[in-house]
Every structure is written in structure tokens, then in C-alpha cells.
Structure 1
Amino acid sequence: MCSVFLKVDNLNTYYSKLHAIWDISFNVEQGEIVTLIGSNGAGKSTLLKTISGTLKPKTGSIAYNGTDIAGEKPSKIVRSGLVLCPEGRQIFPKMTVQENLRMGAYICKSKGEMEAGYDRNFALFPILKERYRQEAGTLSGGEQQMLAIGRALMSSPKLLMLDEPSLGLSPVLTETVFQLIQEINAQGVTILLVEQNAVMALSIANRGYLLSSGHIQAKGTGEELLNSDEILAGYLG
């Protein structure tokens, strides 16, 4: 790992008067897979939304590639190379696979750049090429998740944030999605992964952070957290 790519320092975010995340500090090194684990309501999705600009932090800093992006517009953050693939896929069900992918390519500067994005996606997700002109709402759950990730990849992210990519998927499809995450990482994309399937997430992560009630409760390498008796007893069961 060569450098700090994302550095979050003393971040606090509110929903109206509700203090959702408290003094969160963590970092992601370039080339890593870092995972954030925790139960529902722990603050994981809130944290990703704050980093991506869809929520504004009350206090704290978010340094991405050396620049503080806290409070910046989401469109500017995407153009800088930091992209969020949201929880629940949020595809456009009445649009085709092609049209959904094109929605992720709005920052592409040329047709050639867009075509390169399609080629990259179809190499990773051959099923999307087969379903190219099919309405996205008719895809299976696993295919919709691949489409959601593919749409995010159309922006050529340097750091890809994935929010619950295995949500609602069978064990077999979950394993496939995690293999694809590793392949995307191997292509040079840094990954920040939010996931309730903690065992799978930690098994592929360089490092992990456990969130609880808006606080970071534990941190370590993926292996350290997987082998922690405290984490096993208190969270992994």
C-alpha cells in the first residue's frame, strides 16, 4: 500500500437533531479493501452518504487524495474519482441495462470513453452483455446487483464505496459478488465496503472497522477481527 487515499477525521453527522455518527476517524490506503461492519443502525450507510456528499457533516474532515471534500457537492466528488454504489441497488427498473449503464457514464468526456466503460463491464459481468436491451426490473437480484456495481464503474472510480452489495442475495450469489469485488480491486480500484456479512467481508479485507451506535468500537486487519474472541462473541456470533 503506497499512501493514504481517504482520511476521515473526527466526523460527526446528524439527521435533524439525531446524532448519527460520533467522532469517526479512519483511513483507507490506496489499493486496499477496507470494510466497515456493524449491525443495522450502526451508522455505516450514514458514513458512506456523508463521504459521498449526499449528507453534510456537522464537524470533521474528509480528505480524499489530499483534498478536503467534506460538504462538497456529490457531482464534484464523483468527478474526483470517488463513487458510491448505494444500498438497495437503486437501479432504474423501466430502463434497459444499457440505459442504466449510460446513467453512470454522465461524466464521460467522449464516446470512446463510454465504450471503454461498456467493454470493462461486459468483461466483468458477461450476463449484462446478454441482457443489454432487457429492462433492468426483469433481472434477477444478483444481476441487478451486478448492474448497480457496473453503473458505478462507468464513472471509472479510483475509490469505489459499496453499500451492502450482498443484501438479499443467496449464499452462492454472495460468493460471486465478493469474487467480483476482489477482481475489481485487482484492477487497481481501492474499495471501501459496508457489509452485514461480516465473515465474508473480513475474509477479503486488508483491514476492517466495527461500528456500533455511531462509534468505532474496534479496528484491525481482516484476519485480526475474524480471530478476535470479543468480536466473535459480541457481533459475529
Structure 2
Amino acid sequence: MTPRAQLPSVSLDRRSFEPLYHQLQELLKQHIESSRWQPGDLLPSEPELCRHFGVSRIVVRQALAMLEDERRVVRQRGRGTFVASPAFEQRAGGLVRLLQPPRQARLVIHVLENSLHDVDEAVRERLGISGRALRIATRLSSGGTPIAIIYSFFDPDRVAWLQAVPTAGLIAPDVSLSETGHRLGRSDLSVDTRECSTLEAEWLEIPERPPVFSVAIEEFEQHQETGTPLEVVQALFRGDLLACRLEFTSVPFTEMTATFAIADPARDD
């Protein structure tokens, strides 16, 4: 039996400048974010919400529609409204971090290109090389839905094991960073937004020129506080489907982690 979410014992402020539907969606969202309501919990029905908060059905439907747009709930005809479960959550990183065990079971890594390339001077300087770099372009999918494009650049002499990665096609689940002797440490990254190109939109199977998160990343090995990164990355994450979450920690040292998450079960079937 599906657990039913218990209604909060809080009233809406009818004297507030904030519309009732907005107050209601914020209240329901707080219960989801605080984990008082768990993924899969069945929310009270629209009539129950109307009676409990003393509002019209229009107000309730506006509040639920906002939560659905934010992918915090999923509405199923004839069954009700349920708290949505994150179908995908991945720390922003390069290919080597994706290959770090344990790999997500539903995450598929598809190689679009794997070859030596002439790259610009800035990339060569960061990798500490004078010749061509190994460039691997990959597309990430979750549940059959493309979610990101990652361009990775390496010093080919440091990553000979990547020759086992196909020039095109899927990376096998048994390809693991743990077998290479590399141990990842910190990541340096910056996040921006831009429009993706026609080709990138085609790879991501989305309309042309939608907004994407553009993430520049450098992956370093453990105990490597300075020096050249193992991987230099330019990644594009879908802005129409993913949310970027920044997490800060202060113990044992100040750190920020960027995580991309999707919460839309309908897209991840």
C-alpha cells in the first residue's frame, strides 16, 4: 500500500501579499525538501487539500501545477499526486570521475569520438603537453534520455588505459578507474549557461538552441594540490531537465560540490 503524506498543521496567511496558491506550493515543497514526505508518498487529494486549507480547487490545482513544473511531484490520472523520486543524480565531473566505482546502474556512457586532436594552447598548457591531446567526447543518458555531453582532454601518455575505450559506442560497465592506478582527488570547476549548438542539440535529442549548463572542469589526482590535472573537461548539461545543486562542506577543509539531478519519473521510464 502506498504511504499517504500527512497534512501539515499550518494555516495560510490570508492577509499576506503572497497569493494563496504560492503559499500553498511553498508549504508543500517544504515538506518534500525536509523529507517529511518521502519519494513515492501519495499526497492528499485535491478535495482534502481544499478542506484542510480552506481554499478553492483552483488554488490547489495552481499549487500542484507549480510543483509538477519543478518536478517535485508527479501526477497520475486516476491514481493521484505522488512525491517524485530523483531518477538521476551525478556529481559534476569528467569522464574519469564517471568511471570511478561504483558506477550508476542506469547511467549509460556513449562515446561519440575518441582520437588524438590538435587543441588550443590553453588546453595544452593545463595538461603540460606540447603535442596533440587525446580527446574523448561522450554522451550521458539515464533511462534512455540523453542528459549531457562531455568533452574530455588528456595527456595521452598518462592515460594509455583509455585505449580500451571504443572510438565510438558504449563504454562497458566493467571499465573502471580502480583498475588503472589513478585515484581522484579534488575537482576545479566553473558553471555558466549558454545555448547549445545545432549539433549538440541533435546529440541531446532536444530542440535547437535551448539553454544548457556549461561546466568547465579540471580533475586532479589524490594528493595533487598543484600541478597539471589528469583531465580537462568542457561539459554541457541539459538546462530543461536538470537542476544544479551546490553543496558546501567545511570539514576537514572548505569544499564545494556541484551535483546535477533530474526528478522526472515520466522521462526516465
TM-score range, shorter chain: under 0.3
Structure number with greater CO (CA < 8 Å, separation at least 6) is 1
Higher percent of residues as strand: 2
Structure with higher Rg: it is: 2
Higher percent of residues as helix: 1
